[in-house]
Structure 1
């Protein structure tokens, strides 16, 4: 792992912010394009706390998140990518639009001709009243991604915690895996009569009443509801609280995000600005490892070709 000293101001072809599946794929491709590429990350990729993913192609037995990131990091470094663990505090265009300058928390600066933002999202976590959160995730009592692991909970007793349309949609999605799916409100069920009817028609139960406690054990998740004498036990619980894009750096470059902080889906293919692309969970769309891999490859290739065009290394009829 490389470290940078304050005021170094090192110059590279491309800076990638974020070392999750999207950022590391982009780094691998760019290194193989013989670009001088540096990945700066803060060690907080969401993939690092994936207990085991079984829908990454090529890993039928599943792969643990930290193992996947370690493999991908090694792969990129073998071809010449450089990884730096640090926090990027600021990104701005350089004078005369000659690339970008990133300032790290240490005070060091990095100058780059191109930029890929693969900063990911922050998952809005459930707060447990007893039981360890990470252990609950590892044991499968607590889950956050129905697309990733709904299959592993087929025919189990599943609860979804979330009172709005997002929670209702997640509960209905999980109905494909089990006949026993219950939507539990965070405070009150903010659903229309039509939405309630749709849930009922799909076989999803709605549990009225205020949630008092969430207790994770090896036997399951126990949910205490106001007015009920005994807690209800579920095999697994999905909090449908959504996530928050880590798009602050994109916002520093201009009005590139929507009011919710989302980066447009086209950012991995069409770019955000000349020389700026984004990939992975930070952009709008399906938050999946396999999706991030493809977006990272696309962003890297588009940015590489953009630099070739700037250097006059593209046939005129290709432009």
Structure 2
């Protein structure tokens, strides 16, 4: 124990000295302790300052985000009035997370946030977009186990584009979308794209249109005109609802108009590429590139050929696969003709050609017809038709140049399938009616399964393929029935299946109807609505100031002008002519009044068409000052006709437009959408 009194001796003095030394060391240690405590308090102060700064930044971010809502207030003090609410809104958030990104944002909250931005004059769009992207990334990672049905994550560019479109919408327009934000995609993604037309495609478009899905239909054009194989038929007697029958082109037109009435969008173009390796699916035509959640494939079939040694030499110059299109041509009138085939199409072609030709020879490889009994009875009762069973066409012979504008084909070489004996039969034209093979070239190398015949394989009892979201209907998946009514039924089933698939996977975006549909006033594609037929002009009725002309007399008068003349050679029975006429008028209208347009019915002006070497319909020829510039046979894309007109006007270099030929002279006859 320390003594504070005077020391009694040296021992006690030494002990006191030692105690003082220890006391000084303890005092020095205690002196250092306030310094360490001050450093801790100083560090805590900096931490508090940092926290305050982060809170201030968070409050500023919330104030800046909601500034647009303040600016819309009418009161000049609206901004000041909004400061407490903005402060509370920001301070409620965590300081280190300006916008919530750890949860999937709902559609309602996201749309509310967009509407609150108003015109966006003071909004930080990048900040909103970045949080939206982060939410999408989080949602995609959380739902990756759901499989390939997840839509693509929306990019910043697409989000900004959609935001711009949102600002341009009327205030009362509904901006709601039926899916959560983790499945939002670009606005141009279609519910369903239908590739192909005809009974299957148009029926699918009708049912999807009535389901508020607004289907997009690629009808075809160069690879097969809109309407498919029905355009190449005459009277259809086995489609329910028409006791007296109906012309194939008229039936197709009615189907198309009905689908349009319910909102289907028609695109008269060929699809050149289908990408099924990613979702949404990619579909590309000559002028459009669209994304779609589902596809209904209804491209029908293309006509078979005999592949004769001289087939290419005489194709479209005496050999054809469309009797309705080319059988009316002057070169096939009052002469013997041949039809290869024994089914319903062959019987129908033979009956049609018997109205124009002298004698019709039917070449059937088997010992009996494959047609229906009703068609067989009509053929047998027709005295102008001669039937050759067990007969195979081996080749065609003739001259390259025929005098007097006649067909260069002079006959065929046939072989008896039982004895092998060959003989010649003189005919001036041969028409193929050999059935078809599925038009599935676009699907080669794709995940869609095809059978040995090229037909699309479907799940038993359904119109679904083995690829989710991909459906098929019509001849492209039918290897047995191949009727217009079965194709229409398949289109109905495929459309309903697609609707159910879209709905069950949360991918459907329904488009509301307009009220005018109740009165049947739905808008239609004006470009492809038929105009009333006009009469051929005479000397008394000809008026050069009219935009349209008709008849041989009008053409002869127009050829005296220096302006180019576009001539459409057609017939009333030609379905492809009905498709081409309004489209061609639209093209010529772009050059009016520098270009004349004239239509010539080769049924009415047979001799004139023969002098012009018209071998089939539709045929488009361009003249200038009486000089022939070029000819395109069949149905082409609009750009082909524009190039020919530009050449006639001297705006484009001359190209090889061979009279009676053209780029589509062969393909047009071989392919159809059904």
TM-score by length of 1: 0.69
Of 450, 463, 476 in structure 2, the residue corresponding to residue 282 of structure 1 is 476
Of 327, 331, 345 in structure 2, the residue corresponding to residue 136 of structure 1 is 327
Asked if residue 256 in structure 1 is aligned to residue 449 in structure 2, the reply is yes
The separation in 2 between residues aligned to 1:189 and 1:295, in whole angstroms, is: 40
Q: Quote the residue 1:102 is aligned against.
A: 283
Q: Quote the residue 1:16 is aligned against.
A: 194
Q: Judge conservation of contact 2:343–2:371 (CA < 8 Å) in 1.
A: no
Q: After superposition, where does 1:21-100 map in structure 2 within 5 Å?
A: 21-43=199-221, 44=225, 45-93=228-276, 95=278, 98-100=279-281
Asked if residue 123 in structure 1 is aligned to residue 303 in structure 2, the reply is yes
Q: Quote the residue 2:93 is aligned against.
A: none
Bigger radius of gyration = 2
> CA 1:270–1:278 in 2, change beyond 3 Å: closer, same or farther?
closer
Q: Helix, strand or coil: the match of 2:290? A: strand
* Residues 88-144 of structure 1: CA deviation (Å, up to 9, x unaligned): 11111253xx331101123x2111110011101112368687598434389998586
More strand by share: 1
| CA-based RMSD | 3.8
Q: After superposition, where does 1:224-239 map in structure 2 within 5 Å?
A: 239=432
* Residues 188-212 of structure 1: CA deviation (Å, up to 9, x unaligned): 6585xxxx6xxxxxxxxx9952455
> CA 1:257–1:52 in 2, change beyond 3 Å: closer, same or farther?
same
Q: Judge conservation of contact 1:148–1:288 (CA < 8 Å) in 2.
A: no
* Residues 144-196 of structure 1: CA deviation (Å, up to 9, x unaligned): 6834685996xx99854253xxx5454686695338742221126585xxxx6
Q: Quote the residue 1:235 is aligned against.
A: none
Q: After superposition, where does 1:209-248 map in structure 2 within 5 Å?
A: 209-211=422-424, 213-215=426-428, 239=432, 241-248=434-441
Structure 1: which 5+ runs fail to align? 1-7, 197-205, 222-237, 314-319
> CA 1:240–1:143 in 2, change beyond 3 Å: closer, same or farther?
closer
The separation in 2 between residues aligned to 1:266 and 1:186, in whole angstroms, is: 39
> CA 1:78–1:246 in 2, change beyond 3 Å: closer, same or farther?
same
Q: Quote the residue 2:388 is aligned against.
A: 182
The separation in 2 between residues aligned to 1:307 and 1:241, in whole angstroms, is: 39
TM-score by length of 2: 0.35
The separation in 2 between residues aligned to 1:285 and 1:185, in whole angstroms, is: 24
Q: CA deviation at 1:52?
A: 2.0
Q: Helix, strand or coil: the match of 1:281? A: helix
Q: Helix, strand or coil: the match of 2:246? A: coil
Q: CA deviation at 1:302?
A: 1.1
* Residues 22-62 of structure 1: CA deviation (Å, up to 9, x unaligned): 00000000011111210002232222121221111112222
Q: Judge conservation of contact 1:19–1:118 (CA < 8 Å) in 2.
A: yes
The separation in 2 between residues aligned to 1:190 and 1:296, in whole angstroms, is: 42
Of 293, 303, 315 in structure 2, the residue corresponding to residue 113 of structure 1 is 293
The separation in 1 between residues aligned to 2:208 and 2:496, in whole angstroms, is: 7
Q: CA deviation at 1:261?
A: 1.6
Q: Helix, strand or coil: the match of 2:475? A: coil
> CA 1:185–1:149 in 2, change beyond 3 Å: closer, same or farther?
closer
> CA 1:11–1:267 in 2, change beyond 3 Å: closer, same or farther?
farther
Q: Judge conservation of contact 2:296–2:471 (CA < 8 Å) in 1.
A: yes
Q: Helix, strand or coil: the match of 1:258? A: coil
Q: Judge conservation of contact 1:22–1:295 (CA < 8 Å) in 2.
A: yes
> CA 1:115–1:251 in 2, change beyond 3 Å: closer, same or farther?
same
- Provide the aligned length of Structure 1 versus Structure 2: 265
Q: CA deviation at 1:86?
A: 1.1
Q: Quote the residue 1:225 is aligned against.
A: none
Q: Bigger shift: 258-267 or 276-285?
A: 258-267
Q: Quote the residue 1:161 is aligned against.
A: 363
Q: CA deviation at 1:265?
A: 6.1
> CA 1:135–1:214 in 2, change beyond 3 Å: closer, same or farther?
same
Asked if residue 304 in structure 1 is aligned to residue 511 in structure 2, the reply is no
Q: Quote the residue 2:534 is aligned against.
A: none
Q: Quote the residue 1:295 is aligned against.
A: 490
Q: Helix, strand or coil: the match of 1:214? A: coil
Q: CA deviation at 1:303?
A: 1.2
Q: Which has the higher contact order (CA 8 A, sep 6+)?
A: 1
Q: Bigger shift: 303-312 or 182-191?
A: 182-191
